[in-house]
Amino acid sequence: MIILNEAEAVEVSLSAVDRGDESKAFQALDSLTGIAADFLSENEEADAERVILSIENAAQVAAEREMELVTINSILSLGKLARVAADKGLESALSRAFIAIGKLGEAAASHSLEAGSKVAATTLMEIWNFSPEEWEQEKTIAFSLLFKEIGTSAARRGMQDVVLNAVTCLGEIGKKSAAKSLELETVSALLLLEEIGKIAAESYFDEALSSTALSIEEIGKLSKKKELSDAVLQCQWALETLRVQAEEKLLNNSSIVAELALENFANAGYTDSEEKVEKFREIKALQEKIQSNL
């Protein structure tokens, strides 16, 4: 295969996608991936990020054109680059790569590319698992937001399996955050699970809504054990909201699941207050700030 330089590869990738030429798109992607990897190996982080952005831009167009194989291969290439960046300790390039993967997952879901959105969620979770003990607060919330966006986009396009995948991944972040007594990150994950659950209910996804309620319940149990009162309260609120929505949509299974989950917190002893409501508002504001920078 002919190896292209960066300028050629960028031009070929965009023109190939525009023409629907998968072969040329793959050639350009291979060249760009190799160029970015070389930059990372030489600690030239800014140059690597520029190439990562070029891969993302072409892949976004590929998703819009429903070129699923190009989208998937772009996501996998970005996953490899994220691993190299993580191994080299290049945090900015690592962030650029995982954010690109999450955004491509959302784009794939919004264009009904089920396999592409699943690969994005799986790859994103693999990156999260590189070093889950080391992610700082804003990056943890960024991961959570990306999973939420994949899940909600998939729900709107009728892809319940993708929603289930996103809920599982977001639930894992919530559980790990609770286990480490990171209350703000835990509440953030719970708020986002509630958002996915609401859209799952609107889409009449009984299984996805049940899975969301179960994830919230698991996070709540850990939060109760760790005495994270804000998180436990948010669990109660979220489950009650989803229970009501399930009943309204006649989603009998998820209605029962949410009601049974609520029983775990019946005697938790945590009550709402204006102070707690304000805390949740602040967390939502932080989410919006991070979302605007993704």
Helix axes 114-128, 137-156, angle to 10 degrees: 160
Question: What token pair was written down for 236?
Answer: 């109660």
pLDDT at position 68 is: 96
pLDDT at position 273 is: 66
Query: Does the predicted model carry a pTM greater than 0.85?
Result: yes
Question: What token pair was written down for 160?
Answer: 């319940």
**Cα distances (angstroms) measured from residue 48 to each of 34, 38, 83, 267, 294:** 10, 8, 13, 53, 18
Report which of 121, 125, 94, 124 is spatially closest to residue 109, judged by C-alpha positions.
121
Residue by residue, pLDDT tens for the chain (294 residues) are 557 889 999 999 999 999 999 999 999 999 999 999 999 999 999 999 999 999 999 999 999 999 999 999 999 999 999 999 999 999 999 999 999 999 999 999 999 999 999 999 999 999 999 875 678 999 999 999 999 999 999 999 999 999 999 999 999 999 999 999 999 999 999 999 999 999 999 999 999 999 999 999 999 999 999 999 899 999 999 999 999 999 999 999 999 999 999 998 877 666 666 777 888 899 999 999 999 998
**Cα distances (angstroms) measured from residue 24 to each of 9, 35, 48:** 10, 17, 22
pLDDT at position 275 is: 77
pLDDT at position 134 is: 74
Q: How far is CA 17 from the centre of its chain?
A: 25
Report which of 182, 278, 265 is spatially closest to residue 218, judged by C-alpha positions.
265
